[in-house]
Structure 1
Amino acid sequence: MKISFHKYQGTGNDFVMIDDRNETFPAENTALISFLCDRRMGVGADGVILIQNHPEHDFRMIYFNPDGSKSLCGNGSRCAIAFAKTLGIIGNQTVFETTDGVHDAFIEGEIVHFHLHDVGHATKQDSDWFINTGSPHHVRLVTDLDQMDIIQPGREIRYSKHYEPAGTNVNFVETTPEGIRVRTYERGVENETLSCGTGVTACALVAGMIDYQSPVKIETKGGSLTVSFTKTEAKSFQDIYLAGPAKKVFEGIVEVPI
């Protein structure tokens, strides 16, 4: 079996993109998803994204983690928007459906602005925070981000009893006068990724809780992003936009042994 694909990345968060408007991709085959994401045996990616037709909106996006689980993916959504434009499905504005419902977005030059759903609140957990931006995120403020090995503490929090059974993503944040710096241990990938869109959004909203003003500038290992928002008197968040580049890397055909 051969599969045509496009590879996209958004600040280093990379995805195998598949035009599945004819709905022939065997999405129930989790071994196939894992193979495509494998950086030695397959294409290599943090996730697989299908673009399908939608009866009411511009398109449907389905995102799979390497383990086959589904979730909202912020950087993946931005890459899907750029891919949909390349396919001629959309222009510079769109309304589409993904895992957590319907979203709108727009493209401005090389920057894709993805509109996330409103967030009710961030909850304090001792000195840490928890916030759900379409995917669950634990946020920890640190002062030695570059020197940290985030894998061990990230894995411990991700699999802690508090977050059973589904687990959570884990973000480590260092504040700076210009904004914040973020590293993320991603659930489903089970490793650090160069960037996580819903994760940096969660961290920016936590920054808003400690009086950072919108838009918040974020630096990740994979590049720069911004998150804008409106904070209400009730300390909820509206008009949340994740903005950053989404670039095509290459396209090809992969022989699938599964």
Structure 2
Amino acid sequence: MIIKTLAENISNIEDLGSEHGLSLFIETKHHKILFDTGAGALFSENAAKMKVNLAEVELAIISHGHYDHGGGLKTFLNINNKAKVYLHQKAFEKHYLNIAAGEKKDIGLDETLLTHERLVFMQDRMYIDEELELFSNVLGERLRPSGNRYLLSKAGESFMLDDFAHEQNLILNEDGKNVLVTGCAHNGIVNIIEHFRKEKNSTPDYIIGGFHLQDEQPDVVGEIGKYLMETKAKCYTCHCTGIESYKLLKAMLGENIEYLSTGSQLIL
């Protein structure tokens, strides 16, 4: 399995751009997958430089309904004329960031794409095949990101705290290895892993994606670090985890956690 980071918050490669967003290209024995599209067209520009042919992608997954993970969807659909795109049925609902002085910024997906013929909407679980499955409906409340308090959804004219029912996670099964891929882990990385544990009666071998710990309190990050140590999983994190929180986790987990910046390539 090969995983290439097409877009992420930072880049250590001069020729590759970075942005606040996430996009991963995943190649397994049987699939070429795009997991998230970043905030715009940057993922496609970096893909070309990294010799990733997006026209060959067989399926795409949008982890949740925020622009920094699905903002490049229109670009992808224009480049690729065959791949189905899997989203949660609530992904196109209204999503906002509550910023200074009560101003609310729209951070949702492009609603003009809602009726596109290649979009596939899931509810709480979807088995794509023996290698791939998606799940949402993560209900736990343990160590949920405090940054969620700034994120809202809207029904009619009323704003409310987002419950992140629109967030889905990917499980990859290959050669006896279980890989858990998250977008932002708004439901809490601990709760997501616990959901995985209940379904699989084990913890993942690898955990990849954002943990939404940017500006999180160090004691909370420490509790999450202790939990991740107990899973014995190898973690590759990025994007919304935040550099300072990553440093704290790195000090605890050592070689069991690494950072994925734009251009990173993993072979699992």
Instruction: Give the TM-score, by structure 2 length.
Output: 0.26
Q: Please give the TM-score of this superposition, normalised by the length of structure 1.
A: 0.27
Q: Which has the higher helix share?
A: 2
